[in-house]
Structure 1
């Protein structure tokens, strides 16, 4: 079951600035060229960059890339659908079917690196490493009349690490992806911890066939990387919100890839919420709804943590009475996507923290109430006076 973006929601999503654009002057615009330049130099091949519309067909976003019809990522709780056939892309790989289609008439020898940077649109959890509209980069080397195999893929991974995090130790862990074979997850070791940087593999024959390209003649390497994570690792940033900060002390440091020099942090404010929600909600659904409720103030939401989920049937009678719930009551579906068959008491902790100034208690309470009203699906309200 899908819910669709309203015109206002679509306009808001499309108005978000793409910091990976060549003219942004942001560090996020510098990594794509660093990666493509390193790969092109290593292979001696030309580069073609594609800046396609973020509105794509659901077929290109899923079917032509090998996603199964029942894949959970198709659910509108985790992606942003505009209509039954159109959506905001959930990954930049959604632009590759059109690139492959354009090669149908290519009869000679061909060997080119195609790069697709840009924003992608998801419904995600709220914490210091996730946002609902992250930046991503896809890099696909497509070749005719020649083979590309695992050794070429390994070389690609090494070149990417050298471009993003020079001198960093890395490993390739087997990982299945619907549009590749011999798929791997590229991990890098940062401060003694292994962190995911990208995923890659050999382009699957089924993806080539979907564009009428004969896999006996065509082959390729595919890599997808989160640009926000890559820049954060490169600069030593621990809060993804800093990438869009307007604080001059921070913003000036986002114009290059040199290490970040921390500025004084504003104190966080925490507020706990006792919500009534459908019994299958998760941090991604609640996080996206909280961001939407706060609108222009969403950058103050530093975290949303689900502390506990208790089905109504397991609550003590006193708690059910306080919340105004009955065990057999179905979710109301007010404000949140509903899939579960019942309701639950969900305990959530909000972390509110401005990057520019200290929040007053009254401001924090108002923000808390706005989130509460958007997420709560019960008959009784418990607001904080401001």
Structure 2
């Protein structure tokens, strides 16, 4: 079993306080517009009902992993990547976690059942900090399940084409083979943006073992599964370069997040960079460091635009003078981390950047000697 760290009550409360911008109850947002365009497009193309399910973010670990075919020792179970409350309960790491329970409800479905399940919402991960990643991204799963005529690879390609066209009309796109534990014939869907291929979605045929775990006979039932990151889809559609803008309260950003028109640059505030030299207990993991920084900064997390590992040196490889100055222990590492601070609505002062730098330093540093700069 992978290493598990359980969320504290305050960590859980902070995670659950993040608003789901795909939910109309949180107020209008462009994420709802692009979600609706996708759902309308697949409904028209497939000619079958699309039923939207908004499920609670706390899920059984078995539904998030075991019933979807993940191995017991899969690395994604580790607390470096997922958020656990107990050995059996976690914050979902993908909206696919809602699928096993919905499949259970199909056991008594009448012959000829054909329906698309849509599961939008937030997912909860430990992730790097940069301008394209966030620890609580929005996602949607689309699963078409039928006990009528069998669905196959041609239907899968058609679903992928429909979704691409809804997100980015007229875009060049391609599929490449991909492996998912809950599908067969898996594909990664990529679109060409400014000459670069970017991942948009992943899909495949619903896996036999996923069906059988819900007592659905794979000889009678077949399905298509597609997962899409809605933040990435909206950023590609509108040409948004910084994911923090999706939650910005900057008036220019708020105004533009009411439609799907091309993004007009919001007044850029100057960035401030601070490097920190920290002692840590193992080789630096950008996902874990990013999550620790987010947790420490809390409401100020959006001020950190980027956290990058610049260098990593094991204790035994340091010059003796550096090892003595840091008082680094055997097996520890000295990592150079570059922090980029940038507010979206104002200019940060040097004093603010220094204070923020020290907060992150204290959260990440595991050595006995502290090097703080704020007065």
Task: Determine if the TM-score, normalized by the shorter chain, exceeds 0.5.
Answer: yes
**Which residue does the alignment assign to 1:255?**
258
Corresponding residue to 2:356 among 344, 357, 367: 367
1:106 aligns with 2:95: no
Aligned positions of 1:53-132 closer than 5 A: 53-132=56-135
The residue matched to 1:276 in structure 2 has which SS? strand
CA distance in 1, matches of 2:329, 2:276: 20
**Shift of the alpha carbon at 1:17?**
0.5
**Which residue does the alignment assign to 1:346?**
335
CA distance in 1, matches of 2:358, 2:167: 41
**Shift of the alpha carbon at 1:326?**
3.5
**Which residue does the alignment assign to 1:379?**
368
**Which residue does the alignment assign to 1:332?**
none
CA distance in 2, matches of 1:97, 1:292: 31
Deviations 1:179-231 (A, max 9, x none): 00000000000111100000000000000001000000000000000000000
Aligned residue-pair number = 372
CA distance in 1, matches of 2:312, 2:328: 15
The residue matched to 2:110 in structure 1 has which SS? coil
CA distance in 2, matches of 1:132, 1:376: 21
Deviations 1:240-267 (A, max 9, x none): 0000000111111111111111121000
The residue matched to 2:237 in structure 1 has which SS? helix
**Shift of the alpha carbon at 1:63?**
0.5
The residue matched to 2:200 in structure 1 has which SS? strand
CA distance in 2, matches of 1:13, 1:99: 25
1:215 aligns with 2:185: no
Deviations 1:343-364 (A, max 9, x none): 1001100000000000000000
When the two structures are superposed, what TM-score results if normalisation uses the length of structure 2? 0.98
**Which residue does the alignment assign to 1:136?**
139
CA distance in 2, matches of 1:117, 1:89: 12
**Shift of the alpha carbon at 1:145?**
2.5
**Which residue does the alignment assign to 1:236?**
239
The residue matched to 1:285 in structure 2 has which SS? helix
1:270 aligns with 2:259: no
When the two structures are superposed, what TM-score results if normalisation uses the length of structure 1? 0.95
1:314 aligns with 2:317: yes
CA distance in 2, matches of 1:311, 1:106: 59
Q: CA RMSD in A?
A: 0.8
**Which residue does the alignment assign to 2:15?**
13
CA distance in 1, matches of 2:282, 2:79: 17
CA distance in 1, matches of 2:374, 2:363: 17
The residue matched to 2:175 in structure 1 has which SS? strand
**Which residue does the alignment assign to 2:163?**
160
CA distance in 2, matches of 1:144, 1:200: 20
Superposed structure 1 runs of 4+ greater than 2 Å apart: none
**Shift of the alpha carbon at 1:88?**
0.2
Give the stretch that moved more between structures: 17-26 or 270-279.
17-26
8 A Cα contact 2:283 2:312, kept in partner: no
**Which residue does the alignment assign to 1:338?**
none
CA distance in 2, matches of 1:315, 1:280: 14
